[in-house]
Amino acid sequence: MASKERDKLNDDFEPEEFSLEDILAEYGGSLGQNLVKEAQSAPEEMPPRRKKQPAPPPPPPEKKEELPKPPKPLSLEEMVGSTVDAVMEEQEPLLPPKRGLFSRKAYEDTEQLYGPPEPESEVEEEPIGEEPDLMTAAAEVREDYKGRSAMLLPSFFLSLLPTVLLVLEQQGVAVPFWTGQPKYAAMVLLALLVLTALVCRGVFGKALERLRSRRCTSEVLTCAAVLAAMGDCILRLTGNGPAEVGPYGCVVCLSLFFAHLGNTREDRGFLDTFRAASMDEEPPYLIAETERAACKQPGAVRGFYTTARRDDGAALAQTVLLPLVGVAAFVFAGLTSLAKGHGENFLLHLSIILSAAGTFALPLCWGLSWSRLARHLQKAGCAVAGWSGAEKISRRKCMILSDSDLFPPGAVQLNGMKIYAEERRKVVSYAASMARAADCGLNRLFDGVLRSEMGSYLKVDQFAFYEEGGYAGTIRGESVLLGTASFMRKMEVRLPGDINLKTGVFLAVDRQLIAVFAVKYNPAENVDYALKMMQHNHITAILASRDPNVNPALLKRKFGKKARVEYPGLTIRVALSEAGKDHDLARALLFREGLLPYAETVVGSRRLVRCVRRSVVLSLAGSVAGTLLTAYLAALGAYHLMPPLTLEAFLLLWTVPVVLMSDFAARY
């Protein structure tokens, strides 16, 4: 009975056939199989196949047609791949992209966490062309200076002669061919103008040079005033000139003299500068500008001539304002003469307004101050590269000072040493090698001791600076420390209790003290004077020392409490001291050791820049005031309020402060 029931159950439950898709659907599958299932079930829901159903018989063909070729059988992998690709093209991704190890998308398809690095901005190097030898440049400037200085005295007497004739006439003295004879007076004045222009022909050459370089300076206005005054005198000789007032040629003659004086003093300054710079083809030091301060570096003359020959600050400032003043002078001259129907007064008014616009002070703003500073620096064994060099090294109002600047060779002495259970030669070699690796002011001191002990330098590996005031390195596999007492305590090196040295240097090997050096720092008088000079002129000293003993506390003990310096962190100090080893373009040259020549050059450059800027501001104010005042009086026809002598006095009053301030550049 049991066997019959078993056979009946077997007949009712035939074995089912399961495909791979059914198995994966039952137990879960990957994204591809799920997509295949969705794609197959999209047209209609297919019930799960449990039994084999007999296929229905095909319908009888109505027409005889060619049957299509049976499709090529596809494997499961090909079907899954084609379906996934089709779905991916038509729809957005069904799952958010995963990141990391189990991401289903390639790494290049994921978003970038960091953008590509920006290209580093290349620093454009300053163009430096072919530079002549400084000795040759000095010879050329000497020839120009000799020619202009030889004509300085004749130009002074020729330019002053018309003023003297006017003074005599005003005092009631009858001057032949002058008093009461306008045509003869115009002829004499025209002759003096021509002679003065010939003697001061360098002013016309300078004006043409400025115009070629698209610069409008006081020389251009002065030359225009000379031509206008000559034209006014010629009109008077022909009888077509104004009769109510005499010519203003005396003012124009003095303008030519002051322009010639300014050019002469400028040549004198370049002569002293190039003469000092040509003393040595490879000077000991140069001064270059950095992003933070002026820096003294190993000497070279590259770029000195090019920097020195650039336009000065007075010319650059005049080029900004004087073109407007010159145009205004022509406009005012036309409005006060041609617009009123007095065309014969045009050249007269133009010469008056241009003389006031050019002023006597503008040509002296640069030349006087520059010549005095150049002469002072030549005596001190220095040379600065003109306006551009002075402006660049004094722009930051800071100076980088190293160990050797504050304590030059000979100022650091060894008062004695104490050695603990080590050979003397080994101790000296270790100390000298560490000081040499640090490249500090102690290098020369230990170098002399090493020579006296017949020692040798050793290779230092893994050298490092420490903010606490010392150095660390490895010599022959031993850990070596060199620094101050506080540095040794922080590095857990035991020190004897009976040693009390404020400026001592300690040497330890493998955390064991092996030597103590008593170092003495002697202050120098010129360093003390240089620090006071810098403080008086508001120049900040940035201490870039590598010697752990050279710090603000030591400077206050040696040079007084007023010796204030900026003491940045260790990283900045090392970086600034590294800048002192570069070879940048020379903005100034130093031919003497010590801090004093360095300080004199930077301080003098700063005073020169300040003096020139103040002089230019004052002179340009006088130029604008003179232009407006003379134009107003000319429009009113009030010539009695501005006779030639009064106009000369007005222009001389604006010149006196400029002459006095020029001495400010060389007094410090």
CA pair distance 427, 478, nearest whole angstrom: 13
Residues 559 and 603 in one domain: no
pLDDT at 514 over 70: yes
Among the candidates 524, 547, 579, a domain finishes at 579
Residues 393 and 421 in one domain: no
Interval 375-427: pLDDT, tens: 999 999 999 999 999 999 999 899 999 998 999 888 999 988 999 988 999 99
CA pair distance 566, 563, nearest whole angstrom: 10
pLDDT for 468 equals 87
* Domain ranges, residue 344: 134-397+591-666
Q: Which of 10-24, 250-264, 403-417 has the highest mean pLDDT?
A: 250-264
Per-chain mean pLDDT for the chain: 83
Determine, yes or no, domain membership for 162: yes
Total tally of structural domains belonging to the chain: 2
Residues 475 and 373 in one domain: no
pLDDT at 114 over 50: no
Residues 521 and 569 in one domain: yes
Place 85 in a pLDDT band, splitting at 50, 70 and 90. Answer: low
Which residues, at least 6 apart from 526, have a Cβ–Cβ distance to it below 8 Å? 594, 595, 596
Residues 174 and 303 in one domain: yes
Element (H, E) at 464: strand 461-466
Closest by Cα among 85, 141, 91 to 278: 141
C-alpha radius of gyration, the chain, whole number: 46
Residues 196 and 299 in one domain: yes
CA pair distance 175, 185, nearest whole angstrom: 10
Q: How many CB atoms lie within 10 A of CB 48?
A: 9
pLDDT at 355 over 60: yes
pLDDT at 122 over 70: no
Residues 178 and 239 in one domain: yes
pLDDT at 275 over 60: yes
Q: Which residue has 């170098």 as its token pair?
A: 447
pLDDT for 580 equals 85
H helices of 537-643, in order, are: 552-559, 570-579, 595-636
Q: Which residue has 């129907």 as its token pair?
A: 341
Interval 439-466: pLDDT, tens: 998 999 999 999 998 889 999 999 999 9
pLDDT for 314 equals 95
Determine, yes or no, domain membership for 245: yes
CA triple 473-476-482, angle to 5 deg: 30
- Beta-bridged to residue 590, according to DSSP, are 285, 382
Of 30-44, 355-369, 597-611, the poorest mean pLDDT is in 30-44
CA pair distance 260, 145, nearest whole angstrom: 11
Q: Are strands 461-466 and 398-401 parallel, antiparallel or unpaired?
A: unpaired
- Stated length of the chain: 668
Determine, yes or no, domain membership for 69: no
CA triple 66-69-73, angle to 5 deg: 160
Determine, yes or no, domain membership for 436: yes
For CA atoms 112, 114, 119, 121, give the dihedral sign. Answer: positive
pLDDT for 125 equals 61
pLDDT for 281 equals 84
Residues 364 and 413 in one domain: no
Interval 630-648: pLDDT, tens: 999 999 989 889 999 999 9
CATH of the domain at 534: 3.40.1110.10
DSSP conformational letter for 117: P
Global confidence as pTM = 0.78
Residues 444 and 333 in one domain: no
CA pair distance 428, 346, nearest whole angstrom: 88
Residues 259 and 191 in one domain: yes
Angstrom distances, CA of residue 290 to CA of 339, 535, 584: 57, 21, 9
pLDDT for 560 equals 85
Among the candidates 579, 604, 630, a domain finishes at 579
Among the candidates 544, 579, 614, a domain finishes at 579
Determine, yes or no, domain membership for 657: yes
Determine, yes or no, domain membership for 81: no
CA pair distance 546, 248, nearest whole angstrom: 67
Structure tokens at 48: 């799960």
Residues 339 and 449 in one domain: no
Determine, yes or no, domain membership for 26: no
Residues 486 and 362 in one domain: no
H helices of 461-587, in order, are: 485-490, 525-536, 552-559, 570-579
Mean pLDDT to the nearest integer, 206-232: 94
CA pair distance 403, 547, nearest whole angstrom: 7
Determine, yes or no, domain membership for 557: yes
